[in-house]
Structure 1
Amino acid sequence: MKKAERLNQELIYLRDKSAFNVQDLMAEFKISKRTALRDVEELEDMGLPYYVAPGRYGGYRLIKQQLLTSINFNVDEINAIFYAIRSLEKISETPFDKSFSQIRDKLLATLPEGQQQQLDKLLSVLHYWQTAPVKENLNLALIAQQIIAEKALELTDTQYGSKRVQVQFNELFYRDGIWFASGINYQNDMWGTYRVDYFENVVALDVQRYTLIELNQRQEVYESTYHNQSFRIEVTQFGQELFLRHHYPNMQLISQDSQYYIVGGYNQSELNYMAHYLVGFGTEIKSISPEPLRQKYVDVVAEMLKRQA
């Protein structure tokens, strides 16, 4: 085991201990007393907080703290971290040997169990895709905080007029330059997805009607019933590439007999939005069903041509 790896493993080994001695490290890591003593000095330099207990069998006493203890990363791991910061949407496909799950586990191992659980919860509700933000968002931290706390927010939604609402969210997600939040409106008990950049006067409430699990269950029911109009779009081979670059949760790509189809469901209120989405495929669309969606698509294209006449 290399020295840097051994020091990291020693940090993990000591994480939940209140005291240790040199013999503990010698036995656990099969090292000499001289090496163990050097390791203790280097662990202190890395940020491990301890003091020497007096007496023949005093050993070392660890000082409990909430700060993250320093960890040595190798070059591949550092490259992977910076690659992730620059290209978050490609985290799962990096050219580096170390996976992000390994790095995440290593960082998590330095945290107390309670903090690990909070971090896991945070990562389960925050999602990031691509494209620079269209507008500045000032309330993301507060929204995320309330999701984790499983509490509601009171805010003014200005996307369609100006409405003061109380909402409990279960997720934040970023798509095409826009931050969205999904959750339940307390006033009408209806599920909705909101654009965060239209929020004003956001206030945290010490109110909880649902757990995060219950909200997720409500979302599953909503998704399965709201998009009740099925559709099927045949696209070219390049069309399937366009789909993979940009699509929504209510649709998927299938292949049958070397042909590509976009299938899924939409709500009648989303007809206009769906037609404009399909226009983005240009000449790569071969057929559209059902007929109302095809006709709306034709109308949108006709309006575009009319403006160019």
Structure 2
Amino acid sequence: MSKSKRLIELMMAVNRMRKFTVKQLAQQFGVSSRTILRDLQELSELGVPLYSEVGPHGGYQVLRERILPPIAFTEEEAVSLFFASHSLRHYPSLPFETESSNALRKFYNYMPGDVRDRIDQMKNRVDFVAPTRQQELPYLPLLLDAAIRQRVVRIEYDSRGGVSSRLVQPVGIYAKNGFWYCPAYCFRTDDFRLFRCDRIVAAAPDDSVEPRDHQHIHLDNWESYSTKPRVYVRYYVELTKAGMQRCEAELCPMPTLYRREDGSGWLDTDMPESEIPYFAKFFIGLGNEATVVEPPELIDQMKQLLRDILGKYG
């Protein structure tokens, strides 16, 4: 086996084993212990984070931040991965902000010159627009890690009633319209709640309570585990062509829309009653492009908002 091939296979082996001895590797690769020591030294110089321990139970360990073995990409695959990361640049805060920037830079720097030229041209012609938010979100990595490891987090949450302390067990995090959200089990209310991450003013792991077994709960099904059933009402709204386009572009998740041949249409779906305050503001923003027919509670709230606006401006 050539040295270059042995180094690649050795990199894959140490990442897989995590803890090993020189003797084990020498037997596995059929070389001397001295050769393995030289190879490990070269891997360390290449950036593989190795840690040695002395003593009867010693050996080598790979630290947590492991280096993945080389992976061959086609040009199209590399470009697609570049733009998958590039699409997130409008978000000022990301769970892996530094890591994604480093990965993007590596993809770009190690590509041939003609491929970099192609990417430079595409960057100015392809975009993934998201509303720009100014809030810094330093706790996204902590919330995501807690969701993955099933850990409890103590947060200080700024809601309408003021800042309150809560113990939560995150389900995950997701972005919507430029905001980050964290559905989580709240130990205070004994139910699942949705938290806006920009309203979390402090967060830290907390081991004072035992985490719940929520491995089976994820972003697609967490609402179904709520102990407080949500009340649904019928929403029916007539929409002009422009109104249809605004709804398709701005509503997420997308409600049921029906389109006529001229491009106009209507919204007809059952949605939570708790969403009425949001849709009252949204449909007022559409002006004459939307006519709300049902529910009457939505119409009443829109009227009240309009009266408040008129009163504000005399």
Task: State whether TM-score is above 0.5.
Answer: yes
TM-aligned CA deviation for residue 169 of structure 1: 1.5
For structure 1, which segment, 287-296 or 72-81, has the greater mean C-alpha deviation from structure 2 after superposition?
A: 72-81
Q: 1:191–1:264: structure 2 CA closer, same or farther, 3 Å change rule?
A: farther
TM-aligned CA deviation for residue 244 of structure 1: 1.7
The number of residues matched between the two structures is 233
TM-aligned CA deviation for residue 221 of structure 1: 4.4
Aligned to 2:295: 290
CA distance in 1, matches of 2:26, 2:163: 64
For structure 1, which segment, 172-181 or 259-268, has the greater mean C-alpha deviation from structure 2 after superposition?
A: 259-268
Whether the 8 Å CA contact 1:154–1:166 is kept in 2: the answer is: yes
TM-aligned CA deviation for residue 191 of structure 1: 2.0
Whether the 8 Å CA contact 2:152–2:169 is kept in 1: the answer is: yes
SS of 1:146's partner is helix
CA distance in 2, matches of 1:43, 1:226: 59
TM-aligned CA deviation for residue 145 of structure 1: 0.7
Q: 1:138–1:226: structure 2 CA closer, same or farther, 3 Å change rule?
A: same
For residues 146-295 of structure 1, the aligned pairs below 5 Å read 146-159=146-159, 160-206=161-207, 207-214=210-217, 217-222=221-226, 225-249=229-253, 252-255=255-258, 258=261, 260-295=265-300
TM-aligned CA deviation for residue 223 of structure 1: 10
Whether the 8 Å CA contact 2:169–2:184 is kept in 1: the answer is: yes
TM-aligned CA deviation for residue 243 of structure 1: 1.4
CA distance in 2, matches of 1:288, 1:165: 40
Q: 1:300–1:233: structure 2 CA closer, same or farther, 3 Å change rule?
A: same
CA distance in 2, matches of 1:129, 1:184: 31
**Residue identity matched to 1:284:** E
Aligned to 1:304: 309
**Residue identity matched to 2:291:** K
**Residue identity matched to 1:69:** P
Aligned to 2:130: 130
Q: 1:169–1:264: structure 2 CA closer, same or farther, 3 Å change rule?
A: farther
TM-aligned CA deviation for residue 158 of structure 1: 1.7
SS of 2:162's partner is coil
Q: Scaled by the length of structure 2, what TM-score is found?
A: 0.61
SS of 1:171's partner is coil
**Residue identity matched to 2:309:** M
CA distance in 2, matches of 1:74, 1:180: 35
For structure 1, which segment, 72-81 or 132-141, has the greater mean C-alpha deviation from structure 2 after superposition?
A: 72-81
Q: Which runs of 5+ in 2 are unaligned?
A: 14-21, 41-60, 90-127
Q: 1:138–1:53: structure 2 CA closer, same or farther, 3 Å change rule?
A: closer
SS of 1:248's partner is coil
CA distance in 1, matches of 2:213, 2:288: 46
For structure 1, which segment, 185-194 or 70-79, has the greater mean C-alpha deviation from structure 2 after superposition?
A: 70-79
Q: 1:304–1:43: structure 2 CA closer, same or farther, 3 Å change rule?
A: farther
- Is the aligned partner of 1:41 residue 2:4? yes
Q: Scaled by the length of structure 1, what TM-score is found?
A: 0.61
- Is the aligned partner of 1:74 residue 2:74? yes
CA distance in 2, matches of 1:87, 1:255: 30
CA distance in 1, matches of 2:309, 2:275: 19
Aligned to 1:142: 142
Output the aligned Cα RMSD.
3.9
Aligned to 1:109: none
**Residue identity matched to 1:253:** T
TM-aligned CA deviation for residue 305 of structure 1: 4.6
CA distance in 2, matches of 1:135, 1:189: 29
Sequence identity percentage: 16
Q: 1:214–1:272: structure 2 CA closer, same or farther, 3 Å change rule?
A: closer
CA distance in 2, matches of 1:76, 1:46: 26
Q: Which runs of 5+ in 1 are unaligned?
A: 1-21, 23-36, 90-127
